[in-house]
Amino acid sequence: MDSNTSNIFHSVTLDPDKCMGCVTCVKRCPTEAIRVRDGKASIINEYCIDCGECIRVCPHHAKHAIYDPLTVIQGYRRSIALPAPALYGQFSHIESTDIVLNALLKLGFDDVFEVARAAEIVSDRTRQIMEEEEDLPKPLISCACPAVVRLIRVEYPELIGNLMTLVPPVELAARLAARKAMVEHPELAREDIGVIFITPCPAKVTSMRAPLGFGASEIDASVAMKEVYPKLLEHLPEIAEIGEMNLPELQSAGRVGVSWSGSGGEATALLTENYLAADGMENVVHVLDSLEEERLGDLDFIELNACAGGCVGGVLTVENPYIAHTRVQKLRKFMPVSLNHFDNDMLGLITNDEPIDYVNFVAIQKLSDDYEEAISLLAQMKEIEESLPGIDCGACGAPSCAAFAEDVIRGNAKKGECIISLRDRLGELAEDDEDIGDFIPRPFRSGKENRGDDNH
Ligand code: SF4
Ligand code: SF4
């Protein structure tokens, strides 16, 4: 098995004690990675892309994300905060990103390195690639949202070749921040330096622990934005007292970089009008379906964000994504266009050095190690699927009849667990025995059993 599948870490996880088995998450998971069995949800690791959609929709707060505590900074002699640009949109009434960056120092970080800075370099490099390289796949797909990269890997293998082969901005930021710290503090070893990402979403935590496209991440820990936010708030009055004009100037990115916080920010920096930007999982799936059907091949670039609004909509943020987006737009107003550019010396740091493989191939092979048996099981699976009602009700705990048929073949479910098949069987029994019909709840009656009931 390649490193893409053996190295499985997931930030999104389930608290079985809180799960009520309501199947809300089952129906919303974009990769059909959730099943409810014996009244509790479970996640199929190979299919989960850590998009956080199930965290967002669970009415019982049974899904949550794993990330590092802020105290992780105490384990390093020098700690560097990597704030995602979405962090700036969480605060009302701030005039400059310098206020947030200085608050991070008050919080205990020794330095800050804006992810927006690396985003500008990625934008610059992308522009260069699009101008200079011939035979590029069309359209190129952004690799910045790790949930989208994983979605493509699981569901759209033929589009893997359209993904940009650049590391995401946060990874580049970590690499540059670590190198800067090593130069400025030659007395320190790399393990003395903690490069800590302030993350808006679980997918980025997963990307740090189990990267795709590159071997190992230089991010040492990821702390959720929602954990850092209240602590930063505590320091804002102190910063206000110092006065913005007297604060150390830490801002090192311009409009291009901070715009990556919202949908369309990355694409607009490419100076082409021939792009598409979509956000929110349903829209992302719709665009990828269209691409798969070769309906968008005339575009140069596609930016996709799994969260509505872009990274400002991540499940680990605190503010409404549209409010956060408006705030970032206001902050951008007095910023320079861009302060960072790609340099050829960065080529090794910015370019992926591993391929991204299709994950489902491995999963399908697992039906059986024997090829002929696998083909026969696939045929049986199809047969079971065709015998099911095809209404994808989710009552069996699987998201669709097709997924249920696969579960039956894998031995994870029994065909009799289909509630509609059960209804039909009970209906048949009721034809022979009237009393049985009275015991079938109304929603599960096929009609034949309603003999004595009124219809009001
Ligand atoms: S949404 Fe999913 S995790 Fe939450 S209670 Fe329902 S089945 Fe359980
Ligand atoms: S994080 Fe996304 S892909 Fe994973 S189980 Fe939840 S909804 Fe499905």
Q: Give the pLDDT of residue 5.
A: 40
Domain of residue 35, CATH code: 3.30.70.20
- 279, 305 in Cβ contact below 8 A? yes
pLDDT level of residue 4 (50, 70, 90 thresholds):
very low
Q: Give the pLDDT of residue 428.
A: 75
- Do 182 and 285 belong to one domain? yes
Q: Is residue 443 part of a domain?
A: no
Query: With a threshold of 0.85, does the pTM exceed it?
Result: yes
CA distance to 259, 414, 435, 436, 448, per residue, from 429 (Å):
63, 20, 10, 7, 11
Domain boundary among 350, 378, 407: 350
What percent of the chain is predicted at pLDDT more than 90?
A: 73
- Do 253 and 124 belong to one domain? yes
Q: Give the pLDDT of residue 440.
A: 67
- By most ligand atoms within 8 Å of CB, the mutation choice from 29, 67, 150 for ligand 2 is 29
Q: What is the pLDDT of residues 166-221, one digit of tens each?
A: 999 999 999 999 999 999 999 999 999 999 999 999 999 999 999 999 999 999 99
- Do 336 and 371 belong to one domain? no
Q: Give the pLDDT of residue 8.
A: 77
- 150, 203 in Cβ contact below 8 A? yes
- 262, 311 in Cβ contact below 8 A? yes
Backbone angles phi, psi at 79, to 5 degrees: -115, 140
- Looking at the structure of the chain, the number of domains it has is 3
- Do 30 and 95 belong to one domain? no
Q: Is residue 439 part of a domain?
A: no
How many whole angstroms separate alpha carbon 132 and alpha carbon 239?
A: 46
Q: What is the pLDDT of residues 227-247, one digit of tens each?
A: 999 999 999 989 988 887 888
- b/e 325-351 (16+ beta carbons within 10 angstroms → b): bebbbebbeebeebbbebeeebeebbe
For residue 33 the two structure tokens come to: 């990675």
Q: Is the CB of 145 under 6 A from ligand 1?
A: no
From the CA of 39, the nearest ligand is: 1
- Do 159 and 248 belong to one domain? yes
pLDDT level of residue 424 (50, 70, 90 thresholds):
confident
Q: What spacing in Å lies between the alpha carbon of 398 and ligand 1's midpoint?
A: 13
For 291-316, what is the mean pLDDT? 93
Q: Is residue 44 part of a domain?
A: yes
Q: Give the pLDDT of residue 295.
A: 83
| Confidence check: pLDDT of 267 > 80 | yes
| Confidence check: pLDDT of 453 > 80 | no
Q: Is the CB of 94 under 6 A from ligand 2?
A: no
Query: In the sheet where 221-224 sits, what is the strand order?
Result: 111-112, 78-83, 193-199, 221-224
Q: Is the CB of 28 under 6 A from ligand 1?
A: no
Q: Give the pLDDT of residue 46.
A: 85
Q: Give the pLDDT of residue 443.
A: 66
Q: Which atom from ligand 2 is nearest to the alpha carbon of 55?
A: 6
Q: Is the CB of 34 under 6 A from ligand 2?
A: yes
Q: Is the CB of 399 under 6 A from ligand 2?
A: no
For 106-123, what is the mean pLDDT? 98
Q: Give the pLDDT of residue 423.
A: 77
Q: Is residue 134 part of a domain?
A: yes
Q: Give the pLDDT of residue 359.
A: 64
Q: What spacing in Å lies between the alpha carbon of 421 and ligand 2's midpoint?
A: 28
Q: Is the CB of 43 under 6 A from ligand 2?
A: yes
Asked if residue 139 has a cis previous peptide bond (ω within 30° of 0), the answer is yes
Q: 283: Cβ–Cβ under 8 A, 6 or more apart, which residues?
A: none
Q: What spacing in Å lies between the alpha carbon of 20 and ligand 1's midpoint?
A: 6
For residue 401 the two structure tokens come to: 């009849």
Q: Is residue 361 part of a domain?
A: no
| CA angle 358–313–289, rounded 5-degree value | 35
- 222, 73 in Cβ contact below 8 A? no
- Enumerate the β-bridge partners of residue 112: 81
Can you give 283-327 as a three-state secondary structure string?
Answer: HHHHHHHHHHCCCCCCCCEEEEECCCCCHHHCCCCCCCHHHHHHH
Domain boundary among 304, 321, 350: 350
Q: Is the CB of 180 under 6 A from ligand 1?
A: no
For 63-89, what is the mean pLDDT? 98
Q: Is residue 165 part of a domain?
A: yes
Domain of residue 400, CATH code: 1.10.15.40
Nearest CA to ligand 2 atom 4: 48
According to DSSP, residue 244 is labeled G
Range of the domain at 26: 3-65
How many whole angstroms separate alpha carbon 247 and alpha carbon 212?
A: 39
3-state helix, strand, coil in the chain (%, to 5): 50, 10, 40
According to DSSP, residue 45 is labeled T
- Do 48 and 133 belong to one domain? no
Q: Is the CB of 51 under 6 A from ligand 2?
A: yes
Q: Which atom from ligand 1 is nearest to the alpha carbon of 36?
A: 7
| Confidence check: pLDDT of 456 > 80 | no
56 or 356, higher pLDDT = 56
Q: What is the pLDDT of residues 337-382, one digit of tens each?
A: 999 999 999 999 999 999 887 765 555 556 777 888 888 998 999 9
User: Within 10 A of 368 (CB to CB), how many other CB atoms are there?
Assistant: 15
Q: What spacing in Å lies between the alpha carbon of 119 and ligand 1's midpoint?
A: 36
- Do 13 and 44 belong to one domain? yes
For 76-81, what is the mean pLDDT? 98
334 or 261, higher pLDDT = 261
Mean pLDDT of the chain: 90
- Taking CB atoms within 8 Å and a gap of at least 24, the contacts of 415-423 are 415/384, 415/387, 418/388, 418/389, 419/393, 419/395, 419/444, 420/388, 420/389, 420/391, 420/393, 420/395, 421/388, 421/389
| Confidence check: pLDDT of 450 > 70 | no
Q: What is the pLDDT of residues 16-31, one digit of tens each?
A: 999 999 999 999 999 9
Q: What spacing in Å lies between the alpha carbon of 227 and ligand 1's midpoint?
A: 24
Nearest CA to ligand 1 atom 6: 22
Q: Is residue 144 part of a domain?
A: yes
- Do 24 and 89 belong to one domain? no
Question: In terms of Cα–Cα distance, which of 337, 308, 333, 304 is closest to 321?
Answer: 308
63-65 and 12-14 as β-strands: parallel, antiparallel, unpaired? antiparallel
- Do 57 and 77 belong to one domain? no
- By most ligand atoms within 8 Å of CB, the mutation choice from 8, 9, 12 for ligand 2 is 12
- What's the chain's length in residues? 456
- Do 35 and 124 belong to one domain? no
Q: What is the pLDDT of residues 93-111, one digit of tens each?
A: 898 999 999 999 999 999 9
- Do 345 and 400 belong to one domain? no
How many whole angstroms separate alpha carbon 320 and alpha carbon 324?
A: 6
Q: Is residue 456 part of a domain?
A: no
- Do 400 and 346 belong to one domain? no
